[in-house]
Amino acid sequence: MPDFLQIALKNDGDSSNIHAYITGLAIQQGSRRCLLKSDGNDLYFPQNPPAIGSPLAEDCAIPLGPPGHTTIVKIPQIAGGRIWIVEGKLTFLLNPGPALVEPSVLNPSDPNAQANFGFCEFTLNDAQLYANISYVDFVPRIPIAITLQQASGQMQHVAGMAPDGLDRLAEGLRQQARNDGRPWDKLIVQAGGRNLRILNATHGNAVGASFEGYYEPFIEEVWRKYSSGPRMKVDTQAGPGVLEGHVNH
């Protein structure tokens, strides 16, 4: 794999106030914590700050320009990388270490709690480029898509959410709350009169939404099925292919 990649960040939205931040561990620099500077080319390595919650010494907001504009950035080999996309700007802080304090969707006092942001994750090393759109903790309002063009010319594309995807998902959760009486609607975080993001149900306690006992009947049903003879098939989507398993107790 190359020492770096040029990545095209295209603003397909309707706002000119969109910025990107790129964070991760610089593999070829001793895996030091780094951010890409606002020029989209040079790396910023935070120094050990004097206090908890210290500001960054460098502006790392990369402007993506008006709708339809494409910004080219140079990303070196990075582990645990994230490309953050936000309407406006984000606040990153430093704790002694240095440790980077990233935006949190679970802390209502976080300075980014009302920001419209999302991110995709990636790792570029000597062996591979791995990237995905991460909806593990929450679904953002701002949609993100990824397209990869290989050296052979083959294209891979993950479209992400539709522009109205979050609003449709939110309405579905409100309907589900009416159907079964569970607090699905509390997972919807709003700001400025619009749906901002939807949290994963496993983070429901952060917004007073408990789903205790919800999945236990289904889990017991699955356990009974695979305890009685049928084998479960798991597609590893890798070299081992489709594997079969059974309950052993």
Q: What is the CATH number of the domain that holds 12?
A: 2.60.110.10
Number of structural domains in the chain: 3
Does one domain contain both 200 and 228?
A: no
Does one domain contain both 86 and 181?
A: no
Paired residues of 242 in beta bridges: 235
**Which residues form the domain of 174?**
165-207
Does one domain contain both 99 and 180?
A: no
Asked if the peptide bond before residue 55 counts as cis, ω within 30 degrees of 0, the response is no
Does one domain contain both 45 and 84?
A: yes
Q: Count H helices, E strands: the chain?
A: 2, 19
Does one domain contain both 68 and 116?
A: yes
Does one domain contain both 154 and 169?
A: no
- What span, in angstroms and rounded, lies between the C-alpha atoms of 21 and 36? 7
Last residue of a domain, which of 143, 158, 173? 158
Does one domain contain both 170 and 220?
A: no
25-66 tens-digit pLDDT = 999 999 999 999 999 999 999 999 999 999 999 999 999 999
Give pLDDT tens digits along the chain (249 positions). 688 999 999 999 999 999 999 999 999 999 999 999 999 999 999 999 999 999 999 999 999 999 999 999 999 999 999 999 999 999 999 999 999 999 999 998 999 999 999 999 999 999 988 899 878 899 999 999 999 988 888 999 998 899 999 999 999 999 999 999 999 999 999 999 999 999 999 999 999 999 999 999 999 999 988 888 788 899 999 899 999 988 876
Does one domain contain both 125 and 220?
A: no
Q: Where are the alpha helices (DSSP H) in the chain?
A: 165-180, 216-227
What is the model's pTM?
0.89
Does one domain contain both 152 and 190?
A: no
